[in-house]
A and B are shown apart, each in its own frame.
Chain A
Amino acid sequence: MRPFEYLAPKDLDEACSLLSKHRDEAKILSGGQSLVALLRQRLVSPAYVIDIRRVPGLDYIREDKDGLSIGALTTHRTVETSPAVAKRFPMLAEAEHRLAHRQVRNWGTIGGNLSHADPGGDLAPSLIALGAVIKVVSAKGKRTVPVAEFFTDYLVTVLEPDEILVEVAIPYLKAGSGGAYHKESIRAGDRPIAAVAAVVSLDGKAGVIKSARIALGGVGLTPLEAKEAGKSLAGKKATAGVVLEAGAIAAREAQPTADVEGSVEYKRHIVGLLTRDMLNLALTRAQSK
């Protein structure tokens, strides 16, 4: 670790002005679960570390009219155990439950998790499939970015050096919709071999899939949306064959590289299996709603 200056702004305005002053020389610290590892390995060596944990008003889960809003400083553990999340988006609570271990979940925040942009992160696939958006502020103003467009490269996002992620907003699912997420990993809480989130909406009367979104984790430089796999389902009756075919398409859309978690072929194989299983679970949930 290289020495740095530690700054602890009292509020969002001060945090923004510190960031606009130091820009590339600064790094935001939230839960520290990813940043500290990077510092220790000297993969990043900022001159300033700006600790935003004391910034008020960023730790909340709010049931708004159209959707659920989660503040950037909300910890994984809070999301995991939130009754509102369990009721509205069980897939998100399930994703949190298998994210690392409880010690990490007690510290790590959803803002830090998304900003860190690990392609194997457990939240991004579900948020992409659910059509969530990210709210960002800086000294210059605010903007909103769909999660599906947030990640640009390995550990890189659309965030400018002076911007802070402040909220994730997830629109509620319509009736006849359901979602599911699963990470297949060597050990519990590990990085994924592959992870798949699926969200489907049914056309109530016909038992036909109106639309489907499938997103993949751990099989590319960023979390990915398997767009073709999703499209292949639209307008079709939900048969075993259609679901299997979507799995095969998703496996082709994945862009894995070989590492200690698995070979390219194995990761694609797992994407296929998980897409099948998550679609089936999402369909069951959609039918029961």
Chain B
Amino acid sequence: MDELSTVGKSVPRVDGMEKVTGTAKFTNDFALPRMLYGKVLRSPYPHARIGRIDVSQASKLPGVKAVLTGKDNPEGRMGVVLDRPIVAEDEVRFVGEAVALVAAESLEVAEEALDLIDVEYEELPAIFDAEEAMKPHSEVVVQLGHHLLPSIPAYAGHNIPFATAEETPNVYRAFHIQEGDIEQGFRESDVVLENRFVFTRTQHCAMEPHCAMARPEPDGGFTVWASEQHPFEAQLFLSRIFKLPVPKVRVIAPFIGGAFGGKLFVMGMPWAMMLARRTGRPVKVVYSREEVFVDGYSDVPVVIYIKDGVKKDGRLWARSVKAVINCGAYSGRVLLLTGSMVMGATVNYRIPHFWWDSYCVATNEPVSGSFRGFGGVQLIHAVESQMDMLAKAIGMDAYKFRRMNLYKEGEINLLGQPTHAVEAEECLDKVAEWIGWGKKPEKREEGPWRIGRGISAQGKGGLVSPYSLAEVKVHFDGTIEIRHGATEVGQGCNTILSQIAAEEFQTPVGKVRQISGDTAVTPYDITSTANLTTFNTGNTVRRACQDAKRQIFEIAAERLKMKAEDLELKDGLIYTRGKTEAALKLGDIFVPGGGGTAKEERERILKKFGVDYMFCHGACALEVAVNTETGEVKVLRIAQCHDMGTPINPQACEAQIDSGNGFGVGRALYEEIVIENGVTVNPNFVDYKIPSMLEVPLGAEVSSMLPAGVPHEDGPYGGKGFGESTNCGISPAIAGALYDAVGIRMLDLPITRERVLGALKRVG
């Protein structure tokens, strides 16, 4: 490939200045004339029948403009299988479910009005444990049957035909994959190891809570500003909920203060719209931090049973997995998790005999949602912990054991997809070398502190999708405007996409302007999730730029009486190939008489790629100190290395890895939403422990590495996505390091001090 000028360079973030100086606008920074404040009254019961709701006192409070209940619901529902009413109707199914809405002139009045609403409840039996809920004769929470939609994306594999509600009640969706003969695989194995891993619920903890502002439009439609990762999906859902033509709902996603999978599914928007529809005024609904914890579609509790067989020589021979996923009271995006979670067990290691079952189960806990890694954190923790234990059982080094089982270029993985542009081995080698695998730690063990090391590998796939569109507009002054539907959720996509456009037009990044996140003016994009944006939207922007250049060259060629193929563009100037003096300014071709204007054309990229997925692999190695008296675990040093094809912006890639460290350490050691009888006990940042910078290694104790960079043949400039993988490998490496330090094996997350101390007491 020719030398690139912008792609592959660590250019600063294009939105950095705005964000650091506080001028960047997030949804809550917007206010409209005559705007009202919306608030939600939430259920105190995990399962109850709603009796009479008396709103008369609340309605009389001065400043209150509307009090709505389930009776005022629009026709449509929320959720993947459209089962969640916008406001609860006959029943509430979890603590925190919306029961009534208030719109008032001030937030204080709206809050006061909530206290004045009187709701009669008749409590019903509730169930919280997914394994209990799917047993025959369990209290039925969700009536199955008509909710089943065939349109749920299947990933690779099969949806198991649903058993009857009596056999496995509450199962929303089940999923199965198999390869080889699992029983034979175990028979042929020299060592078989089986364990159960339990994962509790965690929150994304995006700095910006969910927020939506809806304005009723004269044509009966709405404009909605929202902190939403996928404005096009929101537009579609909202139009269905309110039975409106799709274009009558305009969704604008300004800057988003963190998403991590938690800003999907029209959160808050239908409430703001219901209230706006009733009052005829704009309404803003902002979640409090407590509301984010109880109804922010947190990551899902999962129980994983995993059984592995291995040959004495180190070959992984058979693996069967059963995952029970606690979906909560309604269908969130986790219905898709039954399928997507399987990636953590299918894309990294060669396994001849494989079996996978997963179940998504309804309970009376809050609704679960998608989370960075989409099942990867849980499954990779289980798989990688097993890899350690298997290596030990056959007397092999944990690093060598992993390395010999990794897929190599071209091998077909268990999803039936080719392994391509993967540098898993190099990632593993790099982190092992950095941590000094096999050598003694430099830090001395003092007092009650012991030191240990762990290592992990991880892989994740992202659906390659043709459904990303981009428009490129070339302005008179040479500014390149790109319009795309991806959302800047903090991951840095606007910078990456600017770099790609700048590269195509051979112009500085500062000459590129972006318009994004507004369904009325930007073309469709499938979503900024699942490591997708660089690959899909990146490719699309690149092709749109190429098409724009083609049109410019055609016009210029006519003027210059030359062939279009002989022209080049650089810094807003058009050159004849090989000449150093410019033939035309970009602006010249806008001047009438010269051959027409550049046509704005919408680029439709509907060519399917040769593969359905691209895969990204990585590895983590780290060192911990554990206090044998208190059980405290400190991560001392941490190295991660992830492949991403050609890194388009190396510094941004390293920053993604750094951010995964914080996420991963939090999940491994601290984070857990505690729910007692359906009630969230710790819905705030005092009681829900996310690590601060004092709990995560910094500076010289951290190494975020990129491998050499094997280009992906279908990616933009050979690049691919990887941001969701960087938080998945940390907990198994910590668990391994703990074993190394003090000989205890922690299966469940989080690995709290008390659990460590308990395990230490058991081993004596």
**A contact residues vs B (CB 8 Å cutoff):** 1-3, 42, 101, 184, 186-191, 259-260, 262-263, 266, 269-270, 273
Contact = CB atoms under 8 A, between A and B. Distances in A.
A266 B753 contact: yes
Given A1-B111, A189-B692, 9 more contacts: A2-B112, A186-B670, A186-B689, A188-B692, A188-B694, A189-B694, A190-B686, A260-B687, A273-B629
B674 interface: yes
A273 B681 CA distance: 28
B687 A187 contact: no
B108 to A, nearest CB: 6
A260 B753 CA distance: 12
B682 A260 contact: yes
Q: In terms of DSSP, what is the predominant structure of the interface of chain B?
A: loop
Nearest to B757: A266
Contacts of B753: 186, 262, 266
Interface of B: 108, 111-112, 629-630, 670, 674, 681-682, 686-689, 691-692, 694-695, 753-754, 757
Given A266-B753, A270-B630, A188 B695 contact: yes
B178 to A, nearest CB: 42
A238 to B, nearest CB: 20
18 contacts: A1-B108, A42-B111, A101-B692, A186-B670, A187-B689, A187-B691, A187-B695, A188-B695, A190-B689, A191-B686, A259-B687, A260-B674, A260-B682, A260-B687, A260-B689, A262-B753, A269-B757, A273-B629
B108 A3 contact: yes
A188 B634 CA distance: 12
A260 B683 CA distance: 11
Contacts of B688: 260
A188 B108 CA distance: 34
B630 A273 contact: yes
Of all A-B residue pairs in the complex, the 8 with the closest CB atoms, nearest first, are: A188-B694, A260-B687, A266-B754, A260-B682, A186-B689, A187-B695, A3-B108, A273-B629
Given A42-B111, A188-B695, A262 B630 contact: no
Nearest to A259: B687
Contacts of A270: 630
Contacts of A1: 108, 111
Contacts of A269: 757
Contacts of A186: 670, 689, 753
B734 to A, nearest CB: 16
A226 B231 CA distance: 59
Contacts of B691: 187
A97 to B, nearest CB: 12
Contacts of B670: 186-187
Contacts of A263: 754
Nearest to A276: B629
Contact of B630 (A42, A184, A260): A184
A186 B674 CA distance: 16
Nearest to A272: B629
Contacts of A189: 692, 694
A92 B688 CA distance: 28
B712 to A, nearest CB: 39
Contacts of B686: 190-191
Contacts of A184: 630
A2 B112 CA distance: 8
Contacts of A190: 686, 689
Looking at A101, A186, A269, A273, the one whose CB has the most chain B CB atoms below 10 A away is: A186
Contacts of A262: 753-754
Contacts of A188: 692, 694-695
A217 to B, nearest CB: 16
A266 B760 CA distance: 14
A2 B106 CA distance: 11
A188 B681 CA distance: 22
A190 to B, nearest CB: 7
A259 B753 CA distance: 14
A184 B757 CA distance: 15
Contacts of B757: 266, 269
B756 to A, nearest CB: 11
Nearest to B690: A187
A260 B681 contact: yes
A259 B684 CA distance: 14
Most chain B CB within 10 A, of A2, A260, A270, A273, is at: A260
B739 to A, nearest CB: 22
A199 to B, nearest CB: 23
Contacts of B112: 2
B388 to A, nearest CB: 26
Nearest to B288: A40
Contacts of A260: 674, 681-682, 687-689
A100 to B, nearest CB: 10
A273 B631 CA distance: 12
Nearest to A260: B687
